[in-house]
A and B are shown apart, each in its own frame.
Chain A
Amino acid sequence: MELKRLFLKANNELENSGQGGKDRKVTCRKCQKKNTVTKIRNNNFVCPDCGHYFQVRARRRILMLTDRRSFIEMNRDMKSVNVLGFPEYDDKLRSAMDKSRENEGVICGEAQVDGHKICIFSMDSNFMMGSMGAVVGEKITSLFEYATVRNLPVLGITVSGGARMQEGMISLMQMSKVSAAVKRHSNAGNLYITLLTNPTTGGVDASFAMLGDITLAEPGARIGFAGPRVIEKSLNRSLPKDFQKAERVLECGFIDAIVTRSEQKTYIAKLLKIHGM
């Protein structure tokens, strides 16, 4: 397996701190208040005024949750191919790569959390909504296989709209493929922690997102199988406000704990420590 040092390059409004060293201001979608990028970033990408959770890029997540310079990336070069010749897919892949400056929607590798060695995968909503095609499935499966052989825990940070339609049944089969790899990892006695972030839906929700030994979620994250609009349409009425929200999903019994961004690293380190890893 190919290993590469991480070097950071990402592209969204919070990742570029502006040209010429000037600290840009960003408007919060929820409270409309403006804050500088630096201020928001130093506050774990949470709005200092209203507590709104800004979207965090996959690489940044890894940086926030693991020890400095501990991350070694795997399979970074894997790129998707339009196997089915699906209309417009080539263009979509190209623009996703441009926009995200990543080759695919998940970043995988080895890292440490407070000195505990782990394997980590982190999905990126900027790459075709974090949808899962063959490469996303392959990278996560490889990571679990790698972790199984070495008896390492896996930490998975999910964000996804589900299976990638443009790859047809190949993408649906990734649900099976990854789930089987998770099972083998589990059978060997290894720990798998998931951190579900907004949104974790569809085929990802119905496979590896829901298969952790310990399932954590970010406050307010939407977690569910079916899209709310589909349900709303078939019911012909609006949905309860907390529907598919992490807090409600916890009440329903599918999440162990909701952990705020500022606490996540310490929380995960504690779990690893208790498991003696």
Chain B
Amino acid sequence: MFKNTVNTTDDYAIVLEARSDKRLTASDYIDSMITDFTEFSGDRLFGDDKAVVAGIGFLGKMPITVIGIEKGKNTESRILHNFGSAHPEGYRKALRLMKQAEKFGRPVLCLVDTAGAFCGIDAEERGQGRAIAENLYEMADLKTPMISVVIGEGGSGGALALCHTDRIWMIEDAYFSVVSPESCANILWKDPGRAGEVAGALNLTADKLYKLGLIDKICRKNKMKELSEELKKEFEYLGTLKTEELLEERYLKFRRAGYRSY
């Protein structure tokens, strides 16, 4: 075993638990929080990426656009959803529906649960990097309130691509990391076995990220009703802001990340 403090071991346990296939997926959240959910498909450029499930419905009485990264429930559906790893088309579908939400004045809810953007020849050649970059760029001034909730895994750039939002919330036992602890340990020490040790250092738990000021709220797990109430309240508040205020706050939220920490 490694020389771990209890804390770091706990952090790695959180990562492993966030990957568990018994966990609630984006579609569970949609089923229990959104009524009249109507799913839409396609990026209008190349195809439809089922790793991203997106559409419109009601949150309470509020019409809303929901975009979730879906991991699937059983072997068959996991394959269909590519285990929650999106190709560029997934991010482009998400962006298309965000723009549609902007047009019709609907708020946007993103449910994030991915080990990371898909790594493959096709994904690269269709511009995985560009797709993620474009989301960050366009979401920076999308003129409608947006909240993202990391419900399981927040895997690096592939998760961030749906998190350039007014609020980033995390379920208490989710994680959000720049790199998976395994690859981090592998890159640093050529030893994926030290993942447990490095998980603590990466500060990837909801708790630690909240303390660092990088996320805005920690939500209790398996409390759909509570979450849905909190979302309604927050969307209502964001809806009272003037567009310029909303966008300025969003800009400053990310502007502050790492500011004067050097």
Contact: A176 with B160, CB < 8 Å? yes
Residues in chain A near residue B212, CB distance under 8 A: 169-170
Judge if A165 is at the interface, Cβ distance under 8 Å: yes
A-facing mask of B109-123, CB < 8 A → 1, else 0? Answer: 000000001011101
Judge if B214 is at the interface, Cβ distance under 8 Å: yes
Contact: B177 with A168, CB < 8 Å? yes
Contact with B128, one of A167, A169, A176, A226 (Cβ below 8 angstroms): A226
Beta-carbon nearest neighbor of B215 in chain A:
A169
Shortest Cβ distance from residue A48 to the other chain B in the assembled complex, whole angstroms? 33
Judge if A31 is at the interface, Cβ distance under 8 Å: no
- For the A-B complex, the count of residue pairs with Cβ-Cβ distances under 8 Å equals 189
Contact: A172 with B258, CB < 8 Å? no
Residues in chain B near residue A243, CB distance under 8 A: 121, 124
Residues in chain A near residue B251, CB distance under 8 A: 180, 184
Q: How far is the CA of A184 from the CA of B251 in the complex (A)?
A: 10
Q: How far is the CA of A179 from the CA of B142 in the complex (A)?
A: 13
Contact: B178 with A165, CB < 8 Å? yes
Given A169-B176, A169-B178, A203-B157, residue A180 in contact with residue B129 (CB < 8 A): no
Judge if A3 is at the interface, Cβ distance under 8 Å: no
Given A210-B133, A210-B134, residue A138 in contact with residue B119 (CB < 8 A): no
Contact: A168 with B258, CB < 8 Å? no
The range of chain A's interface size is 35 or more
Residues in chain B near residue A87, CB distance under 8 A: 197-198, 201
Starting from the known contacts A163-B178, A169-B202, 11 additional A-B residue pairs (CB-CB under 8 Å) come to A86-B202, A87-B198, A135-B258, A137-B258, A141-B255, A165-B188, A174-B258, A180-B141, A225-B117, A225-B157, A243-B124
Residues in chain B near residue A66, CB distance under 8 A: none
B-facing mask of A165-191, CB < 8 A → 1, else 0? Answer: 101111111111101111110010000
Contact: B130 with A175, CB < 8 Å? no
Contact with B141, one of A135, A171, A183, A211 (Cβ below 8 angstroms): A183
Which chain A residues (222-245) contact chain B, with CB distance < 8 Å? 223-227, 230-231, 234-235, 239-240, 243-244
Pick 5 A–B contacts, CB within 8 A, sort by A. A84-B202, A167-B258, A176-B257, A180-B164, A225-B157
